[in-house]
Amino acid sequence: MEEASLLSLPEGMRVEHIQSTDYGLMIEVEAVHPTSCCPLCAQSSDSIKTHYRRVLRDAPCAGRQVQFVLTVRKFYCRNAYCSQKVFTERLPTFVKPWARMTIRCSEHITAIGLATCGKGGARLAARLGIPTTRPTILRRIMALPEAPSASVVYRGIDDFSFRRGYRFGTILVNLESHRVVDLLPDRRAETVAQWMRQQPDLAVISRDRGGEYASAAREGAPQAIQCADRFHLVKNLTEAVQVLLARCQGEILAEPKPDEPGQEEPNKPVIAIEEWRPPEPAHVEKVRLARRAGRYARYQQVVELGKQGRATKEIAGRLGLSDRTVREWLKRGTFPEAQKRRKKQSSFDPFATYVLKRWREGEHNGLVLWREIKKQGYTGTDRSVYRYLKTLKQAEVKPSFTSQRLRKYTAATTLWLLVRDPKTLNEMEREDVTAFCQASTSLKKAYDLLQDFFSLVHKREGQRLESWLAKAVESELPELQSFSAGVEKDKDAVKAGLTWPINNGMVEGQVTKLKLIKRTMYGRAGFALLRQRVLHAI
Ligand SMILES: [Zn+2]
């Protein structure tokens, strides 16, 4: 293969000499095309005036740095009307006039800069055989051309923070190409409106529920349909329910509801369902009792020796116990029973309540019950079921009190329980939802409204919005009433958001990406650099 094509040199260039040095490859190249075009009048010329040499850095080759020593020529322009009498030949695909590196080398540096940051980029480039500096990288990024502003019909808009909670900017995303179209240095209505005025094709604007973007769109793009973003709507509603939940918490945990009357049999032990554990196998029990007997005997000895006035150290030495154990036993005065181990959670536990319910309904067949819970997602064997039934025969197992069972929920997990699609809940969780709803009527109302709203959002039934709002107002729950009042103010956009398929999901994704870029820049870069990096993100 000819060297010139191997090195991807443009046509009309010939490799004269390749020299391997300690620093890499030094390649002498000469431009040999017989003619060149004047950059001013574009007329071709073949009268060479002089030669001169340029030294250019290139992208590395086979892991070695590459330097070109390029001989180029100056030509006379023979066009009598052209003001340019002498011109230097141009190699537009290879190197820019006056540049010290090839175009491809410069592109490598830009790509490294966009993927990393100034300082880290310089370090990485050096490792890859392209020595450069931080200012060069930043200059390359800033020199990237503006993307041509194609007309964008579907636009998503959102804010992002320069410093969390302090200063905000605006990000605009093309909802069709999923690309960031622009970043604006703030989120004020005038700035955004000004920007929108230059976009006459704007037809749909998907935005959050903030008033600034709404008024910006009214000002700058009155022709466009505004869509309130579904994600923000759901978020607002969830926040309202969170407040309501905090208010109802007291109501929920107040009185433990009396247990449903069981078929109490006085001579049966009573076990709370959470405490249920499979009966101990005979051989395990034997070992445990033997161990206890040994311990008890030693305890008696300790007490005896203690009564005789022996020193702790002496007792410990004699009986082969630690000083600490002896001291504690003497202090205690009663035999310390070995502590019961905490009940290990088993995969059967979530189904214990269900099986208990079926047992009370009269279903005592282990195999049938096993099949029933298998359908609900139980993956264990039927052995646990039989062991549980054995316990049910011997003892009175109590279903937990509502408040006890709900106490395990924190504010966050309760909210999560309530906002999930009921179809994805398991039997136990479904019962917990029911328990919550039984414990508080406000919560019951809120839960029904919440789930109805989610189904409206998922099915995009914007036409049902009015009746939902009416129900929310009738609910007399202040939190939901204030949510509805907010929606009422922005009703057209909300309705559009609940009807149109577009949403701001991808804008959120772009904000996440922007945050990542911001972090690699350690937050020190100015807005202009951030904008370049986001718009040209790879
Ligand atoms: Zn000319």
Å from CA of 44 to ligand 1 middle? 8
Structure tokens at 290: 């033997």
275 closest CA partner among 336, 341, 339: 341
User: How far is the centre of ligand 1, averaged over its atoms, from the C-alpha of 95 (Å)?
Assistant: 21
Residue 464's contacts (CB-CB under 8 Å, 6 or more residues apart) are 456
What phi, psi does 403 have (nearest 5°)? -65, -35
- Residue 168 to residues 87, 163, 171, 187, 289, Cα–Cα distance (Å): 50, 7, 10, 6, 69
CB 109 within 8 A of CB 125: yes
Q: What share of the chain is helix, strand, coil (3-state, %, to 5)?
A: 50, 15, 35
Strand partners, 75: 48, 87
Are the beta carbons of 376 and 427 closer than 8 angstroms?
Answer: yes
CA of 80 to the centre of ligand 1 (A): 8
- Distances 137 to 427, 533, 538 between C-alpha atoms, Å: 58, 12, 16
pLDDT tens for the 538 residues of the chain, in order? 578 888 888 888 899 999 998 888 999 999 888 899 999 999 999 999 999 999 999 999 888 899 999 999 999 999 999 999 999 988 888 998 888 999 999 999 999 988 887 778 889 998 888 888 888 888 888 888 876 666 677 888 888 887 777 788 888 888 888 888 888 988 888 888 988 888 888 888 888 766 788 888 888 888 888 888 888 888 888 988 888 888 877 766 664 444 444 444 556 666 666 666 776 777 887 888 888 888 888 888 888 888 888 888 888 888 888 888 888 888 877 777 776 665 566 777 777 777 888 888 888 888 899 998 888 778 888 888 888 888 888 777 776 555 566 777 777 888 888 888 888 888 778 878 877 877 777 888 899 999 999 988 888 888 888 999 999 988 888 889 999 988 888 888 888 888 877 777 777 778 888 887 777 765 566 788 888 888 887 6
Ligand 1 centre to CA of 68 (Å) is 28
Looking at residue 402, its pLDDT comes to 57
Instruction: Tell me phi and psi for residue 210, to 5 degrees.
Output: -70, 145
List, in order, residues 6 or more apart from 488 with CB less than 8 Å away: 469
**Alpha-carbon gap, residue 513 to 27, rounded angstroms:** 41
Tell me the pTM: 0.57
Q: What is the DSSP string of 100-163?
A: SB-HHHHHHHHHHHHHS-HHHHHHHHHHTT----HHHHHHHHHTSPPPP----SEEEEEEEEEE
Residue 169: C-alpha distances to residues 84, 182, 197 (Å): 48, 11, 18
Q: How many angstroms does the Cα of residue 38 sit away from the middle of ligand 1?
A: 4
CA distances from residue 140 to 2, 109, 110, 112, 487 in whole angstroms, order as listed: 32, 8, 6, 10, 47
Q: How far is the CA of 495 from the centre of ligand 1 (A)?
A: 64
Ligand 1 centroid to Cα of residue 92, in Å, is 17
In the reported structure, the alpha carbon of residue 46 is separated from the centroid of ligand 1 by a whole-number distance in angstroms of 12
Residue 70 and residue 479: Cα distance in Å, rounded? 75
Instruction: Output the CA angle 116-166-239, nearest 5 degrees.
Output: 105
DSSP notation for 294-359: HHHHHHHHHHHHHHTT--HHHHHHHHT--HHHHHHHHHH-S--PPPPPPPPP-TTHHHHHHHHHHH
Q: Give the Å distance between the CA of 76 and the centre of ligand 1.
A: 8
CA of 39 to the centre of ligand 1 (A): 7
Q: From the CA of 49, how far away is ligand 1's center (Å)?
A: 14
| Distance from the alpha carbon of residue 215 to the mean position of ligand 1, in angstroms | 55
> Rg of the chain over CA atoms, in angstroms?
39
